Chains A and B, each alone.
Chain A
Amino acid sequence: MHKNYSVDNLNNQGNERVVNVSTGIKKTAAILFSMTLLAGVAAGCGGNGNKSGETSSSEGSTTASGAPAGAPATLTVEVFDRGVQGQPDLNNNKWTQYVNEKFGKPNNAVVEFVPVPRSQEVDKLNVLMAANQAPDISFTYDGTLVTRFAKSKGLYTLDELLEQHGQQLKAYLGENVLSYGKYDGKQVSIPGKRTLLAWNGMFIRKDWLDKLGLPLPTNRDELYETLVAFRDKNPGNVDGVIPWATAAAGMNYTFGNLVQSFWKPLSEEEFVTTPNWLKPGNKEAYQWLNKLYNEKLISPDFALDKTTKQADADVTNGKVGFYAANWDYPMTQKIRVPLKQNSPEANYVPIDTFKNDEGKYLKEVYNENGIFSFIPKSSKNAELAIKYLNWMADPEVMFFLQFGDEGVNHKLVDGIPHGIEQSGEKMQMSNLNMDYTMIVNGAELGDTEKNVRTYAAALAAGDKSYEKLAIDSYAINTTDGYSSYNYGIPNEANIKYGKTLGDMNKQMIDRLIVAKPAEFDALYEKLVKEYMDAGGKAVQEENVKNYRESKAAQK
C-alpha cells in the first residue's frame, strides 16, 4: 500500500512537469470545464426552485391565459402510451393535429400530449404529481387515487370553472356521471361517461358442444358436466386440452359471476357494506373452484401466469373450451386475429351459466362513469383545460375524434360507422381513440344498441360475424346487473389500506383455488382473518357508517 502511494507521488510530479512545459492552457481548460459542470448543477437546482415558486404563486390566481392575444399558452394533456406496434408519434398525428387546428388556434393555445405508459399509469402519475409536473389535464381509472390527491389538496375544485366554461360538458355528462367526481361536495374531477356498462363475459366453444351433442349449459352443474366432457373426450383433439382457461387473478381473466351465484340473499345495507369474503356462500364458491382445479378442469399454471400470456396463447391455439374475461375479450385484436389463424373452426359464443338460488344471473356491471380527469394544483391553465374538455363534448368533435373521416377511418354500413384499419399517423392507438377522448368511454351515437354495434364493428375491424357476438354478449352481461354503491363520501380506511387489500384479494383467490382440498377450510379461515386484520375490518366499519349517512342524506 505505502509503496503504491510513493509511486503515485512520483507520477504526479512527472505530470506536473509536463503540464508546466506545455503551457497553462490545459489547466485553464480543465478548470473551466469543471466550473461549467458545477454551474450546470447549480442551474439544475435553481430551475427546480423556480418551478415550485411559480406553482405556489399560481395557486393564488385561479385563472391565467386563454386570451387570444400574446404568446400562445401550452396546454398539456396526458395520453396513455399503449406501445401499439407501428404507432405514430403520440404528440404528432392526425388526432393531435385536429385538436390543435380546431381547438388550439381559436383559443391561442398549443395542446401538447404527455405520454404515460399504460401499464404503469398509477406509479407514473404519483411521481409526476409529486414533482409538480403532472399535465394540466391528467387522468386515471383509479378513483381512490383521485380521492387521495383531493384530500391532500392537490387538485383544483372545478365547480365554478364548470359553471363558467363548461355548460356543454355539464349537459353531456349529466348529474349522475358528475357525482362520481365529487369530494366533500366539491367537483374535483370530471368522470368520463361510460356508454356501455357490461363488465365480464363468459364464452364457450359452440363447435365442441355440437360435436359432443351437448346443449349450452344454463347452470353450474351443467357447466361442470360439460367441462368434464371436454376434459375426457377432448372434442378438439388437441394436445393438452384445457376445459376452463384462466390466469392469475387481477388481470383480464376472471371467474365471471360464478362467485355471485353462490351468495345468499342479504339486505341492501349488508350487501353493500360486507366484504365479499364474509358474504354467506362466498366460501362455497371458492371451494367449488378448488374442486374443479384439483380435478384438472382449470389451467394448471394459471397462478404463475401473471401477464395472461399463457392463457391468451391457450385460447388462441384452440385448446380451451370455456373461459371468462371482459365481455368484449373475444373481439380484441390479440385474441381475434391469432385465433382465426391457428384454429379457424373455433366458435366461441357468450353464455350465462351461473344461476343463483333465486334463479337470477346476478353479476356486477360498471357504474356509469369512466376515467377520471382532473387538473392538478400545479397547473397554470385550469380555465383552458375546462374549455378543452367542454369543446370535446361537441357531438361533431367527438364523432371525429372517435371515428375520424368517412372513407379514411370508417365507412358507414347501415348507419353504423365501421372502422377501417389504418397505419401510421392516421392510426388509432386505442379503441375509438379513448385515450384522446377522456370524457367518453365507448362509442357515443346516443343509443345503446347502436353503440354496441359500433363498438363491435370498431373492435372487430368490420368483421360482421363478431357483431352478433357483441350484441349477445352485451345483452347477457347486463342482465341482472348490479353496480357498486356510490356513497358520495370517501372511505378514509380504503384510502389507507385499499392497495394492500387489493393485493391480498388477488393472492387469496389464487391460493384458495390451488390449495389441497383437505387444507381448504383452514386456509380460508386464516386468509380471511388476515384480510380483516390488515384493514378489511376498518374499511367495512367505515362503509357501514358512510352508508347510513348517505341514506340519511337522501331522506
Chain B
Amino acid sequence: MKAVLNSQPNQVGIKRGKLFLLRIKRDALLYALLLLPIAYIAIFKYAPIYGLIMAFQDYNIFEGIRGSEWVGLDVFRFIFEQDSFYRALKNTLVLNVLDLIAGFPAPILLAILLNEVGQARFKKITQTVLYLPHFMSWVIIGGIVYLMFSNSGMVNHFIAALGLEKIEFLSQKVPWLITYIFVGVWQNIGWGTIIYLAAITGINKELYEASDMDGCSRLRKMWHITLPGIKPTINILLILQIGRMVSIGFDRPFVMGNSLVSEYSDVISTFVYRVGISSGDFSQATAVGLFQSVVGLTLLIGANYIAKKLGEDGIW
C-alpha cells in the first residue's frame, strides 16, 4: 500500500484523503467481511478490559463496577502478603521453564526427523497418530495417567513384576514433575510439528539438490539447510512462548495435581479459580490476572528486544 502511495509523489494531503475513501469504496466488500473478526476482537478482547477496574475496587457483585468502593492498591497488597500466591507464581514459572526446556525442542527434532522419512504414506500416518492427543481433553488424559502411573497402575505393575521398587509417579515431587512434563510433551509434540513441517516445506528445494551435488551427508544437510531454513519460525514461536511464561493453562495442573503434590501443582490459574470463582472474590482474581498480563507483556517485549538485538526477526 505504502509503495503505491509513494509512487505518486506529486499528490498532496487532500488528495491522499480522497484516495483513502476511494480505496474503502473500492474494497467495501472485503472490509465488510473484515467486520466480523473485528467485532469479535472488540467484544471479546477489548471490551472486557473495562473489567480491570475491579482490581482496584472492593468489588461488590450487586453494586457492579460503578457502585463498588475504590480501594486503591489494597487488593494487590493483600495478594502480595499471601504465601500461597508466591507459591503459585513460583510453581507457574518452574513448570513453564521445564516445559520450555523439554517441550520446545521436541517438535523441532520430530519435524526434522519426519522430514527425512522417505515413504510419504508412513510419514502421513505417523504425523496423524502423533497429533491426535492434542485433541484429547485433559480430563480424559488425567484418567489415562491415573490408570498408567498410580501406585497400583500399569507401569508400577510391570516394575513390581520385574522385582524392582515401585515409583510413586504421582505423589512424590520429582517423579510427579517428570510425569507432568512428559505427558505435556506427549500431548503437544505432534501439533507443534505441523508448524515446523510447514516451514520446512517452504525451504527452497534447490538448496538440497546443490548440497547433494557437493556430497553432503544427511546430518550436514539438516544442520546447514533445514535448521537455518526454519530459524525465523523457531524464533517467533520462542518469543511467543516466553511471553506466555507467567500464564498457564488451567486444566493440566488441575487435573494432574493432587493434594500430595499441591505444593508444586498449585499454579496461578488454579489460584485464580479458587479465589475468584470458588470464593467469589472477583477483585482478587482480576488483580492476579492483571499482574499476570503485565509480567507476560514485559517478558514478551524483552524477548523480542533481545531477538532483534541479536539480528533476528522479531514479531514486530
Contact = CB atoms under 8 A, between A and B. Distances in A.
Interface in A460-502: 498-500
Interface string B52-67: 0000000011111000
Interface string B189-230: 000000000000000000000000000000000000000000
Nearest to B23: A12
Contact of A127 (B3, B83, B277): B277
B21 interface: no
B14 to A, nearest CB: 23
B259 A2 contact: no
A152 B27 CA distance: 53
Interface stretch (B105-113, B126-134, B278-286): B278-286
B190 to A, nearest CB: 27
Contacts of A21: none
Interface in B131-184: 146, 150-152, 170-171
A271 interface: no
A506 B278 contact: no
Interface stretch (B28-36, B96-104, B241-249, B296-304): B28-36
A122 B29 contact: no
B29 A507 contact: no
B277 A301 contact: no
A119 interface: no
B62 A34 contact: no
A426 interface: no
Given A2-B3, A52-B64, A152-B62, A303 B35 contact: no
The main secondary structure of chain B at its interface with chain A is helix
For A301, A306, A498, the residue with the greatest tally of chain B CB atoms inside 10 Å of its CB is A301
A123 B282 CA distance: 12
B69 to A, nearest CB: 11
Contacts of A510: 258-260
Contacts of B295: none
A32 to B, nearest CB: 9
Interface residues of A, number: 54
Given A19-B29, A37-B36, A154-B62, A499 B260 contact: no
Contacts of B280: 126, 130, 145, 148
Given A248-B259, A303-B171, A499-B279, A12 B64 contact: no
Given A2-B3, A506-B259, A153 B150 contact: no
B281 to A, nearest CB: 8
Given A303-B171, A530-B83, A534-B84, A152 B28 contact: no
B259 A30 contact: no
B169 to A, nearest CB: 10
The main secondary structure of chain A at its interface with chain B is helix
Contact of A503 (B1, B32, B152, B274): B274
B278 A27 contact: no
For B1, B36, B62, the residue with the greatest tally of chain A CB atoms inside 10 Å of its CB is B62
B41 interface: no
A530 B170 CA distance: 23
Contact of A37 (B35, B64, B279): B35
A31 B151 CA distance: 63
Interface string A409-444: 000000000000000000000000000000000000
Contact of B259 (A130, A153, A249, A500): A249
A304 interface: yes
B26 interface: yes
Contacts of B277: 123, 126-127
A41 B151 contact: no
Contacts of B64: 52
B62 A304 contact: no
A249 B39 CA distance: 46
Contacts of A132: 62
Contacts of A41: 39, 43
Interface in A38-63: 38, 41, 52
B109 to A, nearest CB: 29
Interface in A138-177: 145, 148-149, 152-154
B275 interface: yes
A542 to B, nearest CB: 17
Contacts of A12: 26-27, 30
A377 B67 CA distance: 15
A31 B61 contact: no
A16 interface: yes
A342 interface: no
A38 B31 CA distance: 14
Contacts of A16: 26-27
A15 interface: yes
B293 interface: no
A127 B64 CA distance: 13
B82 interface: yes
For B63, B83, B152, the residue with the greatest tally of chain A CB atoms inside 10 Å of its CB is B152
A34 B275 CA distance: 40
B233 interface: no
Contact of B82 (A149, A153, A506, A534): A534
Contacts of B27: 12, 16
A16 B22 CA distance: 12
Given A122-B278, A126-B280, A500-B274, A511 B32 contact: no
Contact of A153 (B33, B62, B83, B258): B62
Contact of B32 (A33, A301, A533, A534): A33
Interface of A: 2, 5-6, 9, 12, 15-16, 19, 26-27, 30-31, 33-34, 37-38, 41, 52, 122-123, 126-127, 129-130, 132, 145, 148-149, 152-154, 240, 248-249, 300-301, 303-304, 306, 377-378, 498-500, 503, 506-507, 509-511, 514, 530, 533-534
5 contacts: A5-B3, A30-B29, A126-B280, A511-B262, A534-B84
Interface of B: 1, 3-4, 26-30, 32-33, 35-36, 39, 43, 60-64, 82-84, 146, 150-152, 170-171, 258-260, 262, 274-275, 277-280, 282
Given A27-B28, A498-B279, 14 more contacts: A2-B3, A12-B30, A31-B32, A41-B39, A41-B43, A126-B277, A130-B61, A152-B61, A153-B63, A249-B259, A304-B146, A304-B260, A511-B262, A530-B83
